[in-house]
Structure 1
Amino acid sequence: MKKIYFLASALLAVTTLKAQTTVDFEDLTLDPESYYNGSDEAGGFTSGGVTFENEYNTAWGSWNGFSYSNITDNTTTGYGNQYSAIPGSGADNSEIYAVYHSGDTMHFPDSHARISSIDITNTTYAYYSMKDGDAFAKEFGSPNDASGADDGTNGEDFFNIVIYNHDATGAKTDSITFYLADFRFSDDNDDYIIDTWTPVDLTAFTDINYLTFSFNSSDVGEFGLNTPTYFALDNIKYENTTGLTKNEIAQFSLYPNPATSTLNISGDAGEYKIFNTNGSIVKSFTHNGLSTIDISSLNSGIYIVKVSTGNSFGTQKLIIR
């Protein structure tokens, strides 16, 4: 069995936005060691101005979408402990956090919202399922499935979520992939399952109306993913941007675009960041009117360049060949 390490390096930079709201779920109430799963058939709940949709099946007593919890039990394995986050508390040792399972959306009060970050971690249920395996899901790092048969992965397992940005028309305009577990490294010591609250940088998203989520795993069976499709979330930091004037939209130019080894930037001065398609920052720098940036270390592909001037924001697509 491979030794599991947890990525401190997965902590991504966070850009602070003006008039920022942090959804920390502490405006909700729960009895000690309890949870809300939509059994009242309300269809969801609201915290910090954001609506979290939920669908509850009364016939089966099951749910999908969002729930919220203050469960601290991070040692009990299995489906019966599906409302627990593996750190044993909310982010920053707070009490209440949310749990996402399978489907439904996260709606913002403004159809042009911007998000700086969301704190994400594994649930206890999913964590131990990947770490040790169970009756349905494999032990990550093993070449065998839950039944003991060779599954063809050679132990190169992974579990990720894809976060999709939807605009006011409902169209998907961007996405970011975040790995809750990854065992595909050439050095087994780099393999990990997330067990801490990890900020995921979403500043590459613009004009956000709502977010949706999907799961991918190397452990797939006849009926879909065997890995439990859950994650926990907290500290959603966002800003409503309706009413931004033209003066609040930063103006800058990139050339050449497509680029190869160097990139010229002209326009508004500020803090610039280049993101890859996974939402990770691959380069950051301060620009003061005209800059030439060395991008020779970046692989060919599509990137997003984002600037913050303190009172304005701007985003452009960059192609590197």
Structure 2
Amino acid sequence: MKKLLLALAVCLCGAVSAENVVLDLSNPGEPIEYDENDVWTRAYDNDATVYAQEFLFTHTANVEYHSYNGFVASKTTLITESAGMDDQFGCMAKGGVAGEGTPYLVAYWDSYADSNLDEKSCKVYTSSPYYAVGCYVCSSPYVYYTIQKGNAYARKFEQGDWFKLVAHGLNGQDKETGTVEYYLADYRSANADEWTLNDSWQWFDLSSLGQVASIYFTMESSDTGEWGMNTPSYFCLDKLTVSTEPASVDKTLTAAVRAYYDRTSGVVRVESASPVEAAVYSLNGTVVLKQLVDGSAALDLRACPSGVYVVRCGGYSVKVVK
């Protein structure tokens, strides 16, 4: 199996040199075909799963009822602002972390399935145990505009309301290693100026989960009724990252340095909050490219032959496959 290790750099305490595995939906393990709306053609196929790099994402569907739960690949940029199902495959960022129109995952968490079936509806397996690092998450437009406006099933959020994503780690024996939370909406403050409603990709630190064989996601909301949560249980995910070594992420420095291979343009894009030297090396140690990055830069690999390269930014290094 060909392993593509994109450089999604986060600042690790102690500058641990580790091999990261990063989700890259532009290079899936199995082909992902999109329809005229830029949504995975197998969204309602019960025999389909999303597989990329070392990750396998759960997906179940019912063709008769045109329904699904779990993960669906999408790259749609359409947002209708309807607070309805026509926005269920969208993302507030209008694309993945790599930019507008690039692929990402939309997840629908089914609380009923989680309560009544053995399998978790939103679960990702790794090919072998890895240490959790993190992922990027973003709001679904369906959720965003429901929270902002309300609809027939859920009320508009007011002071005191909140909506969060919970990640659960499982080890090789299927025992929980811990949980970590991210608030996609937080209106708990008495000061409305401090309310937050996610509309862009934000880093979700999963490092406290430790070594995991799988991760599953659940959701919670302050808008809950007799039949459970009223807020639509959707979220978007990209660049899930695991590592061969333990990672301790300093939240104040998370994503201060970020790099990824833009396959469409043939460049390594580097973003840094402070000046850093970024260099690309061949496997024999030869410097292929070197550039000072202050803000953002693109290291052009188009003239380089296909193969494995090492990208180093400051004290961090990771492999990419061209």
Q: Which of 223, 231, 237 is equivalent to 1:233?
A: 237
Tell me, yes or no, if structure 1 residue 139 matches structure 2 residue 156.
yes
- 1:125 deviates by 0.5
Choose 1 or 2 for highest CA Rg. Answer: 1
Alignment partner of 1:208 out of 212, 226, 242: 212
The RMSD of aligned alpha carbons is 2.7
Q: Which runs of 5+ in 2 are unaligned?
A: 1-9, 110-120, 254-314, 318-322
Instruction: Please state if 1:88 is matched with 2:88.
Output: no
Q: Is the 8 A contact 2:205 2:249 kept in 1?
A: no
Determine the structure 2 residue equivalent to 1:59: 64
TM norm structure 2: 0.65
Change in Cα spacing, 1:162 to 1:272, as seen in structure 2 (3 Å) is: closer
SS at match of 1:128: helix
Measured against aligned partners, the alpha-carbon deviations of 1:101-155 in whole angstroms (never above 9, x if no partner) come to 1123100111x211322000100100000011111111111xxxxxxxxxxxxx3
Rounded to whole Å, the distance in 2 between the matches of 1:40 and 1:189 is: 44
Q: 2:175 aligns with which of 171, 184, 190?
A: 171
Secondary structure at the counterpart of residue 56 of structure 2:
strand
Shift of 1:14: 4.8
What does 1:146-225 align with in structure 2 at a 5 Å threshold? 155-225=159-229
Aligned residue runs from structure 1 range 277-316, under 5 A:
none
> Residues 28-67 of structure 1 correspond to what in structure 2 (within 5 A)?
28-31=32-35, 33-36=37-40, 38-67=43-72
- Whether the aligned pair in 1 keeps the contact of 2:161 and 2:222 (CA below 8 Å) is yes
- Shift in Å, 1:183: 0.2
Within 2, Cα distance between the matches of 1:58 and 1:272? Answer: 43
| 1:273 CA drift (Å) | 6.2
TM-score normalised by structure 1 residue count = 0.65
Q: Is the 8 A contact 1:14 1:199 kept in 2?
A: no
Gaps of 5+ in 1: 1-12, 142-154, 242-248, 250-270, 275-279, 283-308, 312-321
Identity of aligned residues (%): 23
Instruction: From the superposition, tell whether residues 14 and 123 of structure 1 become closer, same or farther in structure 2 (CA, over 3 Å).
Output: farther
Cross-structure match for 2:145: 128
Structure 1 residues 232-291: Cα deviation after superposition (integer angstroms, max 9, x where no partner)? 0001122246xxxxxxx8xxxxxxxxxxxxxxxxxxxxx9767xxxxx679xxxxxxxxx
Post-superposition offset of 1:164: 0.1
Query: d(CA) in 2 for partners of 1:85 and 1:75?
Result: 11
TM-superposed deviation, 1:63: 0.3
The amino acid of 1:106's aligned partner reads V
Structure 1 SS opposite 2:219: strand
